[in-house]
Chains A and B, each alone.
Chain A
C-alpha cells in the first residue's frame, strides 16, 4: 500500500533526523556555562512541548472539520492527534521535571509557567479521554469530542495568561531560565531537534491512524460477511 510505503520513508527520515539531532545536541552544541550537560535536555523539552501544541492544534482543527463536514474520518484523526499530543504532553512534564531537578534541584517548580500550563492541559486532555470512553460510539461521541478539543485550544492561551497572572501573587521566588540567548550552533541544534520531533509525531500519528483504519476495515469486512 503506497500509504504504508510513504510512512515507512518518513519514519526512516525521522529516525535519521533524530540521530542528527542527538549528535548535534551532544557533540556540536556548546555546553552551557552554568548548567552544564543537564541543560541539554532543553533541546528536547521545548521541542517536545511545541510538538504537543502542534498535535493539540491539529486535533482541534480536525474536530472543526468534523463539525463542519460531518465526515467520520475526522473524528478518528482528531482523536489520534490528541492522543499523540497527550503523549508528548506527558513527555513534556517528564523532561521538564528532569530539567528542573538538574537545574534547580527540585522535581517540580510552580514558577515554571510552561510546566504548569502543561499540567493543566494534561488534566484537560485526560478528561477528554475519560469523556470519550464513557460515551457510546457514534455521531454524538464524535461531536462532543470535537467540541471539547476546540475548548482545549482555546484554553491553551487563556491558561497561559492565567498562569502568568497567578505568578504575581502566588510565588515570589522566580527561577530564571536560560535559553533566551542562543548562539548559532545552539539554535541549529534546536531547530533540528524540533524538526525531528515533529516528524516523529507525524509518523506516530500516521501509524496509529493506519492501525485504526485497519481495525475499521476489519469490522466492515466482518459486517459484510455476517450480513443478513
Chain B
C-alpha cells in the first residue's frame, strides 16, 4: 500500500529547475533514502513530500494529512527567543498532542534536553537545536517522517541518539530520509532514490 506515489514530479522556480522529473513509490513502513550531490533537488523533493510546496508538473500523491506528518528541515523550525519547553508546548497544542506535558517531558529527556528546557533556544548549541527540532518532528507521533539531512547538525552523541531513534521508528513508520551519510541509514533502507 503506497504512502507516497510520485510520477514525473518536477518543481520549477521561475527559470530554475529545482527538481527534474522524479518517479517513485513508497509503501507503508518503508524507508526511502534520497541521495545526490548538493543542488540536485533533495531538499526540494522533501519539501514537496512534506506539503510545503506543490509540484510544477507531475503527480504526487501522499496518503497522509498534516497531523500525521513529521518534518525535519535544515532550519530547526523553532522560535529562537522561546525556551525549548515553550516551543514544544506551542507545537503540542497545534498538533493536539494528547497528554502533551508528559510527551514533551519524555522527548526532552530522551534527547538530553531536559536540563536546558527552560533556556531560550538562542542559547542552545547547534547540536542541541537540531535535537530540539527532532523533538518537534516526533512530538505528535507521526506516521510519515520526512527528514532532510538529519545528521548534518548533530554531534556524536546526538548522532548516536538519532541512530537508535531511527531504528525504532523504521519498524512501524514510513520514512523519507535524505542524507550524505549513507552508511548510517543504509541498514534501514527499503528503497533508494538517487538524484543527479
Direct touching of A and B (C-beta under 8 Å): yes
A223 close to chain B: CB less than 8 A: yes
Closest-by-CB residue of A relative to B13 is A138
**A136: which B residues are within 8 A, CB to CB?**
13-14
CB–CB A139/B196 < 8 A? no
Q: Which of A65-122 contact B (CB under 8 A)?
A: 70, 72
Contact indicator per residue, chain A 210-221, by CB within 8 Å of chain B (1) or not (0): 000000000100
A86 to B53 Cα, complex, angstroms: 31
Contacts of A5 in B (CB 8 A): none
Which of A70, A72, A219, A228 makes the CB contact (< 8 A) with B15?
A: A219
Contact call B53/A137, Cβ cutoff below 8 A: no
Contacts of B54 in A (CB 8 A): 70, 139
Inter-chain contacts of A228 with B (CB < 8 A): 20, 196
Interface residues of chain A, those whose CB is within 8 Å of chain B, are: 70, 72, 136-139, 141, 219, 223, 228
Give every chain A residue within 8 A of B56 (Cβ-Cβ).
72, 139
Name the A residues within 8 Å of B14 (CB-CB).
136-138, 141
Chain A residues with CB under 8 Å of B79's CB are none
Evaluate whether A223 and B17 lie within 8 angstroms (CB atoms) in the complex, with A138-B12, A228-B196 already known.
yes
Q: Determine the distance from Cα of A223 to Cα of B17 in the docked complex, in whole angstroms.
A: 9
- Give the B interface residue count (CB, 8 A): 10
Separation of A70 and B55 alpha carbons in the complex (Å): 10
Other A-B contacts than A136-B14, A228-B20, A228-B196, 10 sampled, CB-CB below 8 A, are A72-B56, A136-B13, A137-B13, A137-B14, A138-B12, A138-B13, A138-B14, A139-B53, A139-B54, A223-B17
Give the nearest-CB partner of A223 in chain B: B17
Closest beta carbon of chain A to B22's beta carbon, Å: 14
CA–CA, A228 to B14, complex, Å? 19
Which chain B residues (2-26) contact chain A, with CB distance < 8 Å?
Answer: 12-15, 17, 20
> When chains A and B are docked, how far (Å) is the Cα of A141 from the Cα of B13?
10
Q: Which residues of A contact B13 (CB under 8 A)?
A: 136-139
Contacts of A141 in B (CB 8 A): 14
Bound-state Cα–Cα, A138 to B15, Å: 8
Which residue of chain A lies nearest to B17 when distances are taken between CB atoms in the complex? Answer: A223
Q: Which residues does chain B contribute within 8 Å of A72, judged by CB atoms?
A: 56
Query: How distant is the Cα of A137 from the Cα of B196 in the complex, in angstroms?
Result: 23
Against A, the Cβ 8 Å flags (1 = close, 0 = not) of B46-80 are 00000001101000000000000000000000000
Q: Which residue on B lies nearest to A138, using beta carbons?
A: B13
The distance in angstroms between the C-alpha atoms of A219 and B17, with both chains bound, is 12
**Which B27-56 residues sit within 8 Å CB-CB of chain A?**
53-54, 56
Q: Identify the 5 closest CB pairs spanning chains A and B, nearest first.
A: A137-B14, A138-B13, A138-B14, A136-B13, A136-B14
A–B complex contacts, Cβ < 8 Å, 19 sampled: A70-B54, A72-B56, A136-B13, A136-B14, A137-B13, A137-B14, A137-B15, A138-B12, A138-B13, A138-B14, A139-B13, A139-B53, A139-B54, A139-B56, A141-B14, A219-B15, A223-B17, A228-B20, A228-B196
Residues of B within 8 A of A138 (CB): 12-14
A137: B residues at CB distance < 8 A: 13-15
Shortest CB-to-CB span from B137 to chain A, Å, is 24
Smallest distance from the beta carbon of B196 to chain A beta carbons, Å?
7
Closest Cβ of chain B to A188, distance in Å, is 48
Tell me the complex Cα distance, A72–B55, Å: 11
CA distance in complex: A137, B11 (Å): 12
Chain A residues whose C-beta falls within 8 Å of the C-beta of B196 in the assembled complex = 228
How many angstroms between the C-alpha atoms of A19 and B185 in the bound complex? 74
A73 to B20, CA, bound (A): 20
CB A218 to nearest CB in B, in angstroms, measures: 11
Contacts of A219 in B (CB 8 A): 15
Query: In the complex, what residue of chain A is closest to B53 when comparing beta carbons?
Result: A139
